[in-house]
A and B are shown apart, each in its own frame.
Chain A
Amino acid sequence: MSRVYTLVKTADAEATPAIERNSVFVYEAPVRTWHWVNAILIVVLIVSGYLIGSPPPTLSGEASAHYQMGYIRFGHFAAAQLFIVASLYRVYWAFVGNEHARQLFYVPFWKRWYWYEALYELSWYLFIVDKPKKWVGHNPLANLAMVVLFTFLSLFMIVTGGALYAQGAGNDTLWMTIFGWVFVIWPNSQEVHTLHHVGMWVMVIFIVLHVYAAIREDIMSRQTMLSAIVTGDRYFRD
């Protein structure tokens, strides 16, 4: 499975020692493409989803002259279906891609060194230690944030959104076959709407933290971030 390499210190017997090199190839083209497509889709989903919950001011005139809510919902559903396809593709790539492609789906939860390193990383963010370590993929703390705040959350949004979509699509559709069980857990779909909506805010929080951390680490840490997700190469500064 995926392993986190520490280049400076060998905290784990399995971890490969530092290599004398100042750049390393991390994210393959499909992962990078997915990242940016996914980012755009999620922004569309957040904006359109918010407008579904709180539609713009009412329009006057004939109903036949407008299709505002229709377009907003179409935008949400179109982006949602692409989001599902992109997510499936990303899962597929975790199997065929390099080991960094697997980090999004895996936390070395039972490894002692992992929690030690995550704590170390946290102390770096809390200004307790002065020097962060070097990591090829996500650092241990980022890894945790990605899996919990992004991967689980995406799954939750797909499941709750899919269930809501199934209600519109109809009882005898494949959507209902796949997602209908959601209503066994939450029989009143108003509750599913509310939870889906809460999920949007968690996603907003993830993005705020993620973009801030990416830019800050790019400036402050001992390695580059933005280049890794744009060109695939990560450079080490010292």
Chain B
Amino acid sequence: MIISKKDIPGFLDKLISEYQVFAPVQEGSFTLFKPISSGTNADLTAANTKLPAKEIFFPQSEKLFSYNATEEGVKVEEVLDEQKKVIFGVRPCDARSLVLLDNVFDNDKFQDPYYLTKRANTIMIGIGCNTPLSTCFCTSVNGSPFDTKGLDLLLVDIGDAYVVEVVSDKGKSLAEQAGLAAATDADKAAAAKIKETATITCQVNTDGLKEKLDTNFYWPIWDRIHEKCLGCGACTYLCPTCHCFDIVDDAKDCNGCRVRNWDSCAFPIFTLHGSGHNPRTSNKERYRQRIMHKFKYFVDNFNEIACVGCGRCINNCPVNLDIRAVLEDVRGSEARLDS
């Protein structure tokens, strides 16, 4: 199927009448996914949004339920977002990150209703990356600029129009409802050509990485690798696969709500026990955890690397602590510094 670029606002406006539609929206010098009220607000020209699309399913601060206690008793009200949603213009790495996060929020031990309800009610319309950034390394971590994992429809930009590839039944019925025209053979050929020419310039070698991490927990590599890290939350909060959270009560007297907030392994209080003991005493242990979690523990648990190569942590780290270089150093690490 195909949709011309000038028809996109109209297409979105129709969706808006039925769904809550999220799209990248210009916010100063970057774009963010925001609910849009008009199809003209969507901005598909910029590369990746500043914050990943995970924010829609797993918001930074999410009210789980509210409560108030009166003389009559306690009233608890669950807050469950059941609105039907469309995410328009999501990049393949962000879409894939949600497939990874599904492992965490939906497994044989836990099913998270807040996340899963939103996932079930959402249609994902992706857009392939004709010009990947120099910091994109999706192809090194099982993704690609036109990967369809986690998507219902994929748009391929062929100049004046997008060739629309149907990925799922959900996507198919949405495209049919919208009455999209069939793509000609020439359009399809143009899309195939675009896919071929889009090049990822950045490769990260992960050969042997997991095996190294299986053994190098106590090796000296960790003594220096974190040294410039400030221990802030920028890389974890901007990462589409980071998913640690903390649960707090925002309450006044007996009225309030329980809120789930993003948390970060980079923060000292992340592992602070009630006793005052902190098993991760310094930045070294915290930074090691970030790497271990993504490239070892997640692999142990779910057989996938918890990084989709979006490059956000590279572009936003205030001290340019580059995960690509870190992984290379980890791969080359030795049990002793002098060996």
Instruction: Verify that A and B bind, or say they do not.
Output: no
Enumerate chain A interface residues (CB-CB to B < 8 A): none
Enumerate chain B interface residues (CB-CB to A < 8 A): none
